[in-house]
Amino acid sequence: MTFSYHIASTQDDALRRIADAGVLPVAGGTDLVPCTEEGILAPTLVVDIRRIPALRDISATAGGLRIGAAATIAELAAHDAIRARFPVLAEACGSVGTPALRNSGSLGGNLVQRHHCWYFRRGVGCFKRGGTQCAAVEGEHQYHGIVADGTCRAVHPSDPAVALLALDARVEIVRADGRVRHVDIAALYDGASRDPLKEAQLEPGELIVAVHLPAIGAAGAQHWEKVMQRGAWDFALVSVAACRRTDGSVRMAMGGLGLAPWRVPDSIEEDVASGGLDEDSIDALVERAFYDMEPLSGNDYKRVMGQGVLKRAIQAISAD
Ligand SMILES: Cc1cc2nc3c(=O)[nH]c(=O)nc-3n(C[C@H](O)[C@H](O)[C@H](O)COP(=O)(O)OP(=O)(O)OC[C@H]3O[C@@H](n4cnc5c(N)ncnc54)[C@H](O)[C@@H]3O)c2cc1C
């Protein structure tokens, strides 16, 4: 697979070029390049967006933060304001892959990366390759999802997306005609089950320019945990991002369970926010949270592990 390469100097330059069919934005290339080798993407031209200053900028907004989409995962993990006020995101970023990946990979690319299901990546004719079944259901599926929606059982690979869901982040998306839209991070992935051919709900020619962290998610109690099979350089078997905000409300999201980062049901969040939970009531809550999960024959451990991880998160954000 060969393609041409252009370094964009401005956002307008990038947007003008990616408006054409077959042209894709690229930042670190850590997912785009493997996807071209695996026959998942076939760009004729890639447009490097890393030299556009506005896309690298991380700046304060009214009590929140605006993070340029080409900022690297390492920059987010080390950023003073993110570490101080949105630590769950800094920790999630710090747990991504390896130092080399964190230094190359961008936030935007991380959110748009394709699933790492081995059937999909190796060209098996599954839902994600236009087929009519999920090969994981009858095959090897120990790393696949336990959230069942009747289609693909791949799990979303992004750690930052899980933290962003717990922070109620919004994504700023621009297209060449100047149209700007802001969507909740949940909406970015809403539809992954309806259309397994794509995970992030972006139209051709659209560029994520920034992610906004609202003030409501700053500070309070925040907790991140990621369980991996290896000690490092691995995707999450299960992860959790949990926040008790300064107004007392609670947001909890989990990774490694489904096609998209999974938001814990709001009735559970509300019970956690009410407080006064002893160990038995937390056990009952986490069991309720996982009630609708449908593990496959070889990944029920994710249900058990997920309940344990969620229990620790509830205890952590409930501690005085
Ligand atoms: C071995 C390995 C281990 C990994 N482990 C983890 C892990 O533990 N946790 C985790 O979260 N991730 C993990 N990853 C994924 C890695 O973090 C992503 O590959 C990386 O973040 C993607 O960023 P990038 O800038 O390199 O994206 P690119 O490869 O440049 O782009 C990826 C896709 O996004 C599109 N794109 C890029 N920027 C934008 C934008 N601004 N707007 C719209 N579309 C855009 C591109 O066109 C392409 O389709 C791992 C990857 C590997 C290879």
User: Which residue among 38, 110, 188, 227 has the greatest number of ligand 1 atoms within 8 angstroms of its CB, and so is best to mutate?
Assistant: 110
Nearest-atom index, ligand 1, CA of 228: 8
Residue 103 has pLDDT above 70, yes or no: yes
Report how far ligand 1's centroid is from the alpha carbon of 110 (Å).
4
What local confidence, expressed as pLDDT, does residue 150 receive? Answer: 84
Residue 311's closest CA among 236, 228, 252? 252
Q: Can you identify the CATH homologous superfamily of domain 219-318?
A: CO dehydrogenase flavoprotein, C-terminal domain (3.30.390.50)
Report how far ligand 1's centroid is from the alpha carbon of 112 (Å).
7
The per-residue pLDDT for range 273-311, each reduced to its tens digit, is 999 999 999 999 999 999 999 999 999 999 999 999 999
Distance from C-alpha of 139 to C-alpha of 202, rounded to nearest angstrom: 30
Residue 46 has pLDDT above 80, yes or no: yes
Distance from C-alpha of 212 to C-alpha of 80, rounded to nearest angstrom: 16
Q: Does 319 or 25 have the greater pLDDT score?
A: 25
What local confidence, expressed as pLDDT, does residue 320 receive? Answer: 67
Structure confidence at residue 231 as a pLDDT band (50, 70, 90)? confident
What local confidence, expressed as pLDDT, does residue 100 receive? Answer: 96
Structure confidence at residue 233 as a pLDDT band (50, 70, 90)? confident
The per-residue pLDDT for range 133-155, each reduced to its tens digit, is 999 999 999 999 999 888 899 99
Report how far ligand 1's centroid is from the alpha carbon of 31 (Å).
5
What local confidence, expressed as pLDDT, does residue 3 receive? Answer: 96
Residue 25's closest CA among 63, 67, 70? 70
Nearest-atom index, ligand 1, CA of 110: 21
Nearest-atom index, ligand 1, CA of 159: 11
DSSP 70-105: TSBHHHHHH-HHHHHH-HHHHHHHHTSS-HHHHHH-
User: Which residue among 98, 112, 156, 202 has the greatest number of ligand 1 atoms within 8 angstroms of its CB, and so is best to mutate?
Assistant: 112
Residue 195 has pLDDT above 90, yes or no: no
% of the chain residues with pLDDT over 90:
92
Structure confidence at residue 193 as a pLDDT band (50, 70, 90)? confident
CA atoms within 13 A on the CB side of 244: 17
How do the domains of the chain map onto residue ranges? Answer: 219-318
Mean pLDDT of the chain: 96
Structure confidence at residue 14 as a pLDDT band (50, 70, 90)? very high
Residue 84 has pLDDT above 90, yes or no: yes
